[in-house]
Amino acid sequence: MTTQQYDYIVIGSGIAGLYSALLAVEFGSVLILTKGGIADCNTQYAQGGIAAAVGPEDSPNYHFADTLAAGAGLCNEEAARILAEQGPQAISELVRLGVIFDTADGEVALGREAAHRMPRVLHAGGDATGARIELTLSSLAHHSRIHVQEYTTTSRLLVEGGRVVGVAGLVNGEGDEVEYLATHTILATGGAGRLYRYTTNPEVTTGDGVALAYQAGAAVMDMEFYQFHPTALRLPGAPPFLITEAMRGEGAVLRNAHGEAFMTGYHPQGDLAPRDVVSRSLLTEMRRTGAGNVVLDATHMPSERLAARFPSIYNFCLTHGLDITRDPIPVSPAAHYMMGGVLTNTDGETTLPGLYACGEVACTGLHGANRLASNSLLETVVFGQRVVRRSLEGGWSGPWPEGVFPLEAEPSEEAGAPSIEGLQALNWSNVGIIRSREGLEEAAGVFAAWEASAPEGGDRGDRELANMVTLGRLMAESALVRQESRGAHFRTDFPETSEAWLRHTVFMKQAD
């Protein structure tokens, strides 16, 4: 076991990891560990864009209010205020680093997405915003004091005397663990879409960061809130692929199997209703009509404009035999974004000194019960900057949860052996868009049994499965604890929102 020492270790090479690393390198040496190639991350696939109150009619107050409304009462208002107010500055930062946002008539072009009161979403390359950001930041990471180590899976956080002092990793995802030490460790491992059978996320999204932090003793929060995007492509033979909400913002319409535009019957904002509402409405329509999908119809839009505004979607669909200028796009909901995560304060400090979290893996409570579209890319820049600034100040003032819940499920005797496919199917059916006590209890029992029987160690695949089991259990038990419906969390046995549940769910290993 060799050991290397750095000022900062950043785990993950999406926007949160790369941006934090580029700031941190001004103050010390940086190691970026990433388990795939540098661009294997959610960031690479972001389409719609990045929200910020930069338009002439807009204001941070409006952005703040829309964030709170989408979050269904549970947003951390301090975090939402910081995000909205520092949003325009964060955009300037990305421009300074070389990101070129699209313009129209000499002004920055702003797209419209669900639950935003006005067009507010900057985009790049039409629907290639994430890819453009990832390319720009990763090219800057070729720096003499940043060492980017690809194909290295972080397998453990190293804790000494209650402080995180580094990480252990598997080079090429296998073999003996190598230790890397650092003064500051920044978790930027992204989300966990791969826990579900249907997802918009790429393969690396197995929730490792939350599992690693939880196993090391950090608090995790709001794991019941998982966002399902209503419009993932459902085309036989095509891999997971998102059809951006911005397309509805430009006038595309959801239709059921009878060709009827149905969303205005469900919500006054129609096709641009909050994501959780649209996803549940789609499921209802699919069940009502007996169809496996609905369609997104953009055929009434001028063909040239459609292809120019959404080139990635246009080309992807065309290579799979679908011309979106002529044919409606088959879509259905898929797991998309993890609102919960490792509990942090608004400086990215976790409950473990030495460990920061930033990006989709972190949970300041900013998104509450449901994230406002295109707030996540912005979050990484605004809070990444705060993480690095805080690391320079010394001391530790991390958050402390007001109360924690115990994990209670008894291991099921009928769980069988764990497998990724089994886990994805179970999570999709029992911890998905529509939940019930019965289904959640069954899932929690199976996860508890799988956790009890999981072998220690192993290669990247073994570690990912173990991490997914840990997350599955946390999600199922959080969802069981929350006896109400709010935002992305909907329970048939508690269909109403309850004042009594205006609180967060926190789990912490030592507390068990």
With H, G, I as helix, E, B as strand and everything else as coil, classify residue 92: helix
Q: Examine residue 341 and tell whether it contacts ligand FAD (CB under 6 A).
A: no
Q: Which does 33 bind (CB under 5 to 8 A by kind): ligand SIN, ligand FAD, none?
A: ligand FAD
Buried b (16+ CB within 10 A) or exposed e, 465-496: bbbbbbbbbbbbbbbbbbebbbbbbbbeebee
Using CB under 6 A as the criterion, what x/- string covers residues 325-354 for binding ligand SIN? ------------x-----------------
Neighbours of 357 (CB within 10 A): 31
Q: Which does 256 bind (CB under 5 to 8 A by kind): ligand SIN, ligand FAD, none?
A: none
In angstroms, the CA 346 to CA 365 distance is 9
- Smallest CA-to-CA distance from 411 within 440, 450, 439 is with 450
Half-sphere exposure of residue 174, counting CA atoms within 13 Å on the CB side? 1
Marked catalytic residue, from 275, 390, 435, 460: 275
Give me the phi and psi of 482, to 5 degrees please.
-80, 100
**Smallest distance, Å, CB 505 to ligand SIN?**
23
CB of 342 or CB of 444, closer to ligand FAD: 342
246 binds ligand SIN, rule: CB under 6 A: yes
Q: How far is the CB of 432 from ligand SIN (least distance, A)?
A: 18
Asked if 230 touches ligand FAD (CB under 6 A), the answer is no
| Nearer to ligand SIN among residue 52 and residue 373 (C-beta) | 373
CA distance 361 to 220: 10
- What minimum distance in Å lies between the beta carbon of 20 and ligand FAD? 9
Place of tokens 């030592």: 510
Smallest distance from the beta carbon of 38 to ligand FAD, in angstroms?
7
| Residue 401 lies near ligand FAD (rule: CB under 6 A) | no
- Residues 6+ positions from 20 with CB-CB distance below 8 Å: 8, 10, 186, 188, 358, 384, 387, 388
Q: Which is nearer to ligand SIN, 214 or 226 (CB)?
A: 226
Distance of closest approach, residue 253 Cβ to ligand SIN, in angstroms: 15
- Among positions 86, 149, 200, 364, the unique one binding ligand FAD when judged by CB under 6 A: 200
Residues in 309-338 that interact with ligand FAD by CB under 6 A: 337
Q: Nearer Cβ to ligand SIN, position 227 or 345?
A: 227
248: Cα within 13 Å, side-chain hemisphere: 28
- Whole-number Å distance between alpha carbons of 424 and 379: 28
* Interstrand relation of 30-33 and 110-111 (parallel, antiparallel or unpaired): unpaired
Residue 369: Cβ within 10 Å count? 28
Per CB under 6 A, the segment of 183-191, 417-425, 474-482, 484-492 that binds ligand FAD is 183-191
- Residue 48 binds ligand SIN (CB under 6 A): yes
Q: Which is nearer to ligand FAD, 188 or 409 (CB)?
A: 188
Confirm whether 275 is a catalytic residue. Answer: yes
364 binds ligand SIN (CB under 6 A): no
Do the beta carbons of residue 492 and residue 436 sit within 8 Å?
yes
Convert residues 9-28 into a mask of x (bound to ligand FAD by CB under 6 A) and - (unbound).
Answer: --xxxxxxx-----------
Concatenated DSSP letters of 344-404: --TT-B-SSTTEEE-GGGEE-STTTTSPPTTHHHHHHHHHHHHHHHHHTT-S------S--
Contacts of 104 (CB under 8 A, 6+ apart): none
Residue 380 or 424 with smaller CB distance to ligand FAD: 380
Catalytic residues: 275
Interface residues toward ligand FAD, by CB under 6 A: 11-17, 33-36, 40-43, 45-50, 129-130, 153-154, 188-191, 200-201, 204, 208, 242, 337, 359-361, 374-377, 380
Interface residues toward ligand SIN, by CB under 6 A: 47-48, 244-246, 337, 373-374, 376
